[in-house]
């Protein structure tokens, strides 16, 4: 019974060593490969010495312990440098202890290290695989059992009684230690990946507790608030980091989120940076819950979308410019036929909705073909531009629209205008064109003139009917020796 108590003590030493390795797993990722392997070797070597110091004595000079489990672990986890370091420490201490089994003990350590390294090279790449752990455990158990059988001072019964339990104890110990360290390594790697992603992300990432105090944040958040490292932010709230009114609003919004559990998704706001410049930010925050569903804090990400907002504004401006160009006559700058048709449709709909009237004016430059023949197309273009200027001057309200309808024809829509008002506008336009005094030797008037037809509607006619009425009035003005205004009357609605 004393033998198994002593063996349990050596098992406890192995367990403590495994715990130490699990605790340093995250730190190993911050070291070089050689440094990490050496550190694993030193810890496993110290554990092997402790295991041998608490070993069970079965005969004078012959000790049984679980040093091989730590040698195998050092080889699997620490690689060649870890295995050699542990082996040297274990063999040196066993030699220091002396006794009849010292040579066999050293041989067991060397064989275990070699076998486990072989398994590592054959079954592993970068991670400790479960298959490698099991194979190494079986190989180490066989080596340990064989060493017991080879001891000459033991009887056959003693060899059997010791080798079989020691084989299984070694196998189970290595599997338990190996699987534990593998899980610790996985957790450390996942934690490292998350921390790296958090630290290196270009956006602002942060985690806060139930009191809105920062628990974790990345470098972007720290630099934004003027700190060298994220650690300086821990325990602080927005009340300490942001301007008063805005900080209070942030704090209340976060507390409301954690009370209700309702996330904040893609909230866009314009704020002032620490350097005084203005920027746009988009923020999303969600509540964090413990395994039982209680809210324990929140996590958030804030993105500087200033560049995106500028690009969107530029895109909107470009689209507006393109839309304006698509609806503008390139020569005169007036609306084109497409825009005029849309304005007429709006005027009809508005007249129907409000039970009000509107007027349409059709204008044709008198004897314009003759003008082009006499003065050329370039001066003809200048003439049309001058006529367009007169029409623009006649627009009194934002809803009024003047358009180049085609060739030398122009059209206007005057919402909420009756026949009398439309006739006044038309006559003013006709007179203004005459006052421009654009010389036209082919005209009986000696200057460029225009004929104008006026039609009104209460919204009861289709666009084609309204335009037909205006066109008929224009034709009547042409027949009346031009340079005049005629109306189509007020059709019934």
Q: Which residues are catalytic?
A: 408
Go through the chain and tell me how many residues it has.
493
3-state secondary structure of 63: strand
- Cβ atoms of 106 and 63 within 8 Å: the answer is no
Q: Which helix (H) or strand (E) holds 399?
A: none
Distance, CA of 111 to chain centre: 53
Whole-angstrom distance, CA of residue 54 vs CA of residue 12:
10
- Cβ atoms of 11 and 67 within 8 Å: the answer is no
Whole-angstrom distance, CA of residue 251 vs CA of residue 245:
10
Provide the pairing of β-strand 450-457 with 278-289: unpaired
- Cβ atoms of 26 and 188 within 8 Å: the answer is yes
Query: Distance of CA 300 to CAs 188, 193, 212, 218, 228, Å?
Result: 23, 18, 11, 11, 21
Pair of tokens at residue 259: 């009370």
Whole-angstrom distance, CA of residue 235 vs CA of residue 13:
39
For helices 67-97 and 2-28, the axis angle rounded to 10 degrees is: 110
Residue 276: other Cβ atoms inside 10 A: 6
Whole-angstrom distance, CA of residue 368 vs CA of residue 407:
9
For the chain, count helices (H), then strands (E).
15, 12
List alpha helices for 124-224, DSSP H: 130-149, 156-200, 219-224
Residue of 121, 93, 124 lying closest to 109 (CA atoms):
93
Provide the pairing of β-strand 278-289 with 295-304: antiparallel
3-state secondary structure of 138: helix
Whole-angstrom distance, CA of residue 15 vs CA of residue 12:
5
List alpha helices for 365-462, DSSP H: 368-375, 377-394, 419-436
């Amino acid at each position: 019974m004393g033998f198994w108590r002593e063996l349990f003590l050596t098992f406890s030493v192995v367990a403590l060593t495994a715990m130490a390795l699990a605790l340093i797993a995250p730190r190993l990722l911050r070291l070089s490969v050689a440094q990490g392997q050496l550190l694993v070797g030193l810890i496993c070597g110290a554990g092997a010495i402790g295991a041998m110091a608490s070993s069970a004595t079965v005969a004078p000079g012959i000790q049984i312990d679980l040093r091989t489990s730590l040698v195998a672990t050092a080889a699997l986890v620490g690689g060649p440098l870890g295995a050699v370091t542990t082996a040297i420490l274990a063999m040196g201490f066993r030699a220091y202890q002396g006794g009849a089994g010292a040579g066999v003990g050293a041989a067991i350590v060397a064989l275990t290290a070699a076998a486990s390294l072989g398994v590592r090279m054959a079954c592993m790449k970068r991670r400790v695989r479960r298959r490698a752990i099991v194979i190494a455990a079986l190989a180490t158990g066989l080596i340990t059992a064989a060493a017991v059988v080879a001891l000459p001072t033991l009887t056959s019964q003693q060899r059997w009684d010791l080798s079989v339990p020691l084989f299984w104890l070694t196998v189970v110990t290595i599997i338990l230690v190996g699987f534990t360290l593998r899980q610790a390594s996985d957790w450390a790697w996942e934690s490292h990946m998350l921390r790296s992603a958090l630290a290196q992300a270009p956006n602002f990432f942060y985690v806060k507790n139930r009191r809105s105090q920062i628990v974790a944040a990345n470098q972007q958040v720290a630099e934004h608030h003027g700190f060298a490292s994220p650690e300086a932010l821990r325990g602080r709230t927005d009340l300490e980091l942001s301007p008063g009114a805005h900080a209070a609003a942030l704090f209340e919004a976060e507390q409301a989120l954690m009370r209700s559990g309702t996330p904040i998704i893609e909230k866009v706001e314009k704020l002032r940076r620490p350097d005084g410049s203005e920027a746009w930010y988009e923020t999303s925050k969600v509540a964090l819950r413990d395994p039982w569903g209680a809210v324990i804090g929140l996590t958030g990400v804030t993105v500087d979308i200033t560049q995106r907002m500028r690009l969107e504004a530029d895109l909107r401006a470009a689209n507006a410019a393109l839309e304006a160009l698509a609806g503008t006559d390139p020569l005169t700058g007036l609306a084109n036929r497409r825009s005029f048709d849309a304005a007429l449709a709006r005027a009809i709909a508005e007249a129907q909705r409000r039970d009000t009237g509107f007027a349409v004016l059709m204008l044709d430059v008198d004897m314009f073909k003759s003008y082009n023949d006499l003065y050329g197309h370039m001066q003809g273009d200048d003439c049309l531009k001058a006529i367009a200027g007169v029409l623009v001057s006649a627009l009194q309200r934002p809803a009024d629209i003047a358009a180049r309808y085609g060739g030398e024809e122009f059209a206007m829509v005057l919402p909420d205008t009756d026949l009398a008002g439309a006739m006044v506008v038309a006559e003013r336009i006709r007179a203004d064109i005459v006052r421009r005094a654009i010389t036209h030797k082919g005209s009986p008037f000696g200057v460029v003139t225009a004929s104008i037809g006026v039609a009104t509607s209460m919204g009861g006619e289709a666009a084609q009917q309204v335009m037909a009425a205006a066109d008929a009035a224009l034709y009547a003005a042409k027949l009346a020796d031009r340079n005049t205004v005629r109306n189509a009357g007020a059709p019934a609605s």
